[in-house]
Amino acid sequence: MAFKILSALISVVAIVQGAIASPPLNRRLFAIREDLQKNLFDGGQCNAEAHESLRLTFHDAIAISPALEAQGKFGGGGADGSIAIFSEIETGFHPNIGLDEIVEKQRPFINRHNLGVADFIQFAGAIGASNCPGAPQLAAFVGRKDATQPAPDGLVPEPFHTPDQIFDRLADASQGEFDPILTVWLLTAHTVAAANDVDPTIPGSPFDSTPGVFDSQFFVETTLQGTLFPGDGPNQGEVKSPLRGEMRLQSDFLIARDNRTACEWQSFINNQTKVHDMFQFVFHDLSILGQDINSLVDCTEVVPVPKPVVGRTHFPAGLTIRDVNHACAETPFPVLPTDPGPRTSVAPV
Ligand code: HEM
Ligand SMILES: *[C@@H]1O[C@H](CO)[C@@H](O)[C@H](O)[C@H]1NC(C)=O
Ligand SMILES: *[C@@H]1O[C@H](CO)[C@@H](O)[C@H](O)[C@H]1NC(C)=O
């Protein structure tokens, strides 16, 4: 059932499922939310900890493999908290580099509140994302079973993986029902993201020029011709970016240009409704991978409704349609204004 494409036009209004939360449970979650906002997210900011908490949801949840199970091996438990419960093992896995920091920042919150680790990780990601204008209100379920063993290594995508490797991994995790365009929907998260460890000489290098806004700039800027390495690149998994200070992952670059996904990628540009709705849809399924939705309680109402997106979709200053690598053969590239001023450079977050 995970990641099922019900039709070309999904009604995201219909995704709310599960039992109704009881008042005491909601009160508990409101207390956790207040604590997180005050003491992890700088009073409700789309800050580095909000970005890292969102990344953590993916790295916990995606570690599930029916293919390994079919070979008689343990395939991981999905969104089961294993990345924090067995952090000494899992944060040592190469793709999880840097996540030890957010795991240790979240741990005191887990210790002082009464919520499972698996539930906490997904909840913190949803609250963190809610601080980013333009983000959807992400699903918050409670009642997941916590891990009793660590996930195996090798299940989290790396930026140096090919599109085929990434599509195959996501297809396995979503148990067969999969289309490569869902990768594009998932990668919307990279609109509020930066890299600390791809090039450790320039920690906090964002993937777009608006890492504090959940907008479509990530989709615009990844289509632009790469011209420079922001730090001492090339590093493994890194390709040239179009802007000083901006990091570009090889995987984002290739999936933006792959003929199975390029048109889907382009379709997010200048379509905030799509950015909002599609990520809301995939996060719902991602956040419960390996869990039985019928035993979970839907507490999404505790997640703040994010502010609307600020600004309009644009080319960064100094760049135009002439700088686009137009990879979608079917559809013209959207017409966008160019920001005024000297060529944009991006500050670390
Ligand atoms: C599918 C292939 C994906 C690959 C190869 C990938 C790879 C990466 C890499 C290399 C980084 C930088 C890490 C660092 O150096 O600090 C990163 C950051 C991030 N990723 Fe992904 N990612 C993928 C999918 C996703 C998905 C589905 C989500 C959804 C939750 C996500 C959310 C994030 C966020 C929010 C950050 C920023 C973290 C920060 O600012 O500290 N990624 N990703
Ligand atoms: C996509 O590109 C590959 C490699 O260039 C090619 O073999 C394939 O036929 C193309 N598929 C479509 C749908 O255009
Ligand atoms: C934006 O995306 C939605 C959902 O895919 C689609 O129905 C709508 O037509 C798109 N809007 C524009 C202006 O392209």
Report the distance separating Cα 119 and Cα 117, nearest Å.
Answer: 5
Residue partners of 108: CB distance under 8 A and separation at least 6: none
Instruction: For residue 267, give the ligand 3 atom closest to its CA.
Output: 14
Coil/strand/helix, residue 109: helix
Contacts for 225-230: CB closer than 8 Å, 24+ residues apart: 225/323, 225/324, 225/325, 226/253, 229/199, 230/199, 230/202, 230/205, 230/346
Nearest to 286 by CA among 197, 160, 188: 188
Q: Whose CA is nearest to atom 6 of ligand 3?
A: 274
Residue partners of 127: CB distance under 8 A and separation at least 6: 33, 36, 37, 41, 53, 303, 304
* CA 258 to chain centroid: 20
Q: Kindly tell me the sign of the dihedral angle through the C-alpha atoms of 142, 53, 36, 301.
A: negative
Q: Which domains does the chain have, with CATH numbers?
A: 19-323 (1.10.520.10)
CB of 90 closer than 8 Å to CB of 77: no
Is residue 59 part of the annotated active site? The answer reads: yes
Nearest to 124 by CA among 261, 332, 339, 287: 287
Ligand 1 neighbours, Cβ below 6 Å, are 48, 51-52, 54-55, 57-58, 98, 157-159, 166, 183, 186-187, 189-190, 192-198, 237, 249, 251
Q: Whose CA is nearest to atom 24 of ligand 1?
A: 187
Distance 187 CA to ligand 3 centre (A): 18
User: Which ligand places an atom closest to the C-alpha of 282?
Assistant: 1
Residue 191 annotated as binding site? yes
pLDDT tens series, the chain, 349 aa: 345 443 333 434 444 455 667 779 999 999 999 999 999 999 999 999 999 999 999 999 999 999 999 999 999 999 999 999 999 999 999 999 999 999 999 999 999 999 999 999 999 999 999 999 999 999 999 999 999 999 999 999 999 999 999 999 999 999 867 999 999 999 999 999 999 999 999 999 999 999 999 999 999 999 999 999 999 999 999 999 999 999 999 999 999 999 999 999 999 999 999 999 999 999 999 999 999 999 999 999 999 999 999 899 999 999 999 999 999 999 999 999 999 999 999 999 9
Q: Whose CA is nearest to atom 7 of ligand 3?
A: 9
Report the distance separating Cα 96 and Cα 260, nearest Å.
Answer: 27
